[in-house]
Structure 1
Amino acid sequence: MLKMEWIFFLTTLCSVLFTFCHADTYPKAQNVSWNSVNFKTLLTWDPIPVNYSYTVEYSIVGQNRERNPHCIRTMRTECDLSNSLVDLKAKYSADVLSEPKYGETSDLVEFPHTSSDWFTPYTDTVIGRPDFKIEVSKDKKKITLYVEDPPTALFKKNEPKTIRDVFGDDLQYKVTFGKSASTGKKTKISASSEILLDGKDIDPGVSYCFNVQAYIPSRSPDKQLGESSKRQCSSSDKSFIEDFGVGAIAGFILLLILTVVIVIVTVVCCRRKTKANMGKERVPLRDV
């Protein structure tokens, strides 16, 4: 009887140890994170798998989990969920499961997995930098910026939606601008993609430089602004001196004169040194 109990104990112990050791065959995913720009949403993680694969499951909070067909037993370390997160204002979570590769099996009932943070596309995706064009009025008293709403990774009738299509009236633009010859800056918020700057904002005929960012006031303060555009400047009809100022011109002239003086002194010194060396070579050697 005692022998049977020992056999049962050893069998149970081996089973537990086998399960424990087998579970370590598939390492858990690490650094699971959301990366989203203009609703192009990727779930990424580490490390690259060896002798196993990954499967991604995602869901709206409180609902059943789903799988993206392109992210089942994948050997990659990213999953594009852009078109899977249909409800843009819902809160999503995702799990990355470590599983056997295709064609392989396992006795595990539950595979090791790592969960992501919560993610809401509408409030969390980064808005990329916009492009814009500058138009100066004929009388030089007005400048209009025509901002191109950035396209997104979302589609409607085979056409990509813009951020204006997604955010509607919630989308605004923040313009940061200043005179090209000055470090001073001003800002202006516009609800339109066509931004007019007039006498209240600019001086006639002066060159101004601009940066534009999408602005979503309904978001949390740290996520309201999108990426800044490339800096662009308008033309000016003022003279060189008026545009840059007397001080800047004087500094430039002084620097130019100083450079010329240094070059002349260097050339004169080199010539004198060369003549001195030539003179030494012409002196005849004395008889011993």
Structure 2
Amino acid sequence: MAENNASRLGEDNQRARHCIQTSETECDLTAELTDLKSKYGADVLSEALKDISSDLIEFPRTASALFCPYQDTLIGSPKFNFKVRKEERKIILNIEDIPTAVFNAQKQQLTIQDIFQNDLQYKVTYNKAKSSGKKVKISTSRLIELTDLDREESYCFSVQVYIPSRSIDKQHGESSQLQCSAAGDPTIFTVYSSKVIAGGILAILVIIAAIIAAIVICSKRRQKTKTRGKEGVPLKGV
């Protein structure tokens, strides 16, 4: 069994009440960390199970490295949904606020926005579904508009929390599950290459020109035939 103690830097150890005489290898100390920007250390003391004798005079004790909840806490992946506006070539992402295990004095559960406030940002990574080239947009808002999109393309998105005030290796939270938009109806320009389209247009122009030429030639021949017919008719009364 183990007993966990936690304390702020420079203060005496305090017992974590729900982490005493536990056989679990993990224990949530969130409720004990009242000042999230202070530095804490945890002290774990191992003990023998009840009714089991041991020859050890002193049981193992392990101390953790100092940590700051505000700077060191691992942040999970956010959830989000999106709406596609094809006419405006725009996609709007709506990111859900992440609940935490922290409660205020009124016993209200705090969200990640409540805790990090102006330090909190969101990083969106996106790309065309058929392309490996990625783009990134960072926003302080949970409502994010992406406007540099092709109307008929499918795009894939992932979101993660971004806190630039932290050290570089702890600025990003876990990435969200990848979500992709549906592809729109492809246009002729996406189905065929520009050379094929140009060749098709040229062929149509040639056909139209040939038809016009044929009509003109036929018209001229008919006109000549009529003219010759009029010249060969004898004059009456001569």
Provide the C-alpha distance between the structure 2 equivalents of 1:75 and 1:212, rounded to a whole number of angstroms.
37
Paired position in structure 2 for 1:224: 171
2:113 is aligned, of 160, 164, 170, to 164
Q: 1:152 to 1:56 in 2, by over 3 A?
A: same
Residue 176 of structure 1 aligns with an amino acid whose one-letter code is T
**TM-score, normalised relative to structure 2:** 0.72
- Kept in 1, the 8 Å contact 2:86–2:151? The answer is no
Give 3-state SS (helix, strand or coil) of 1:219's partner: coil
Structure with the greater alpha carbon radius of gyration: 2
Q: 1:134 to 1:96 in 2, by over 3 A?
A: same
- Kept in 2, the 8 Å contact 1:73–1:100? The answer is no
1:76 is aligned, of 4, 19, 24, to 24
Provide the C-alpha distance between the structure 1 equivalents of 2:169 and 2:189, rounded to a whole number of angstroms.
40
Matches within 5 A, 1:46-125: 53-101=1-49, 111-125=59-73
Give 3-state SS (helix, strand or coil) of 2:70's partner: helix
Provide the C-alpha distance between the structure 1 equivalents of 2:179 and 2:76, rounded to a whole number of angstroms.
17
The answer to whether residue 140 in structure 2 is matched with residue 206 in structure 1 is no
The answer to whether residue 121 in structure 2 is matched with residue 184 in structure 1 is no
Residue 113 of structure 1 and its aligned partner are, at CA, apart by 1.0
Provide the C-alpha distance between the structure 1 equivalents of 2:3 and 2:136, rounded to a whole number of angstroms.
47
Provide the C-alpha distance between the structure 2 equivalents of 1:66 and 1:81, rounded to a whole number of angstroms.
11
Provide the C-alpha distance between the structure 2 equivalents of 1:117 and 1:165, rounded to a whole number of angstroms.
27
Provide the C-alpha distance between the structure 1 equivalents of 2:109 and 2:189, rounded to a whole number of angstroms.
46
Q: 1:133 to 1:238 in 2, by over 3 A?
A: same
Is the deviation greater in 154-163 or in 179-188?
154-163
The answer to whether residue 86 in structure 2 is matched with residue 127 in structure 1 is no
Q: 1:64 to 1:238 in 2, by over 3 A?
A: same
Residue 116 of structure 1 and its aligned partner are, at CA, apart by 0.9
Percent sequence identity over aligned pairs: 51
Provide the C-alpha distance between the structure 1 equivalents of 2:2 and 2:153, rounded to a whole number of angstroms.
58
- Kept in 1, the 8 Å contact 2:46–2:60? The answer is yes
The answer to whether residue 143 in structure 2 is matched with residue 174 in structure 1 is no
Residue 230 of structure 1 aligns with an amino acid whose one-letter code is Q
Paired position in structure 1 for 2:200: none
- Kept in 2, the 8 Å contact 1:91–1:120? The answer is yes
Provide the C-alpha distance between the structure 2 equivalents of 1:101 and 1:242, rounded to a whole number of angstroms.
74
Residue 228 of structure 1 aligns with an amino acid whose one-letter code is S
Paired position in structure 1 for 2:224: none
The number of equivalent residue pairs is 192
The answer to whether residue 207 in structure 2 is matched with residue 239 in structure 1 is no
Provide the C-alpha distance between the structure 1 equivalents of 2:38 and 2:108, rounded to a whole number of angstroms.
23
Residue 226 of structure 1 and its aligned partner are, at CA, apart by 0.6
1:218-269 CA distance string (max 9 Å, x none): 01111111111111112232328866x669xxxxxxxxxxxxxxxxxxxxxx
**TM-score, normalised relative to structure 1:** 0.60
Give 3-state SS (helix, strand or coil) of 2:118's partner: helix
In structure 2, list runs of 5 or more residues that go unmatched. 194-238
- Kept in 1, the 8 Å contact 2:151–2:184? The answer is no
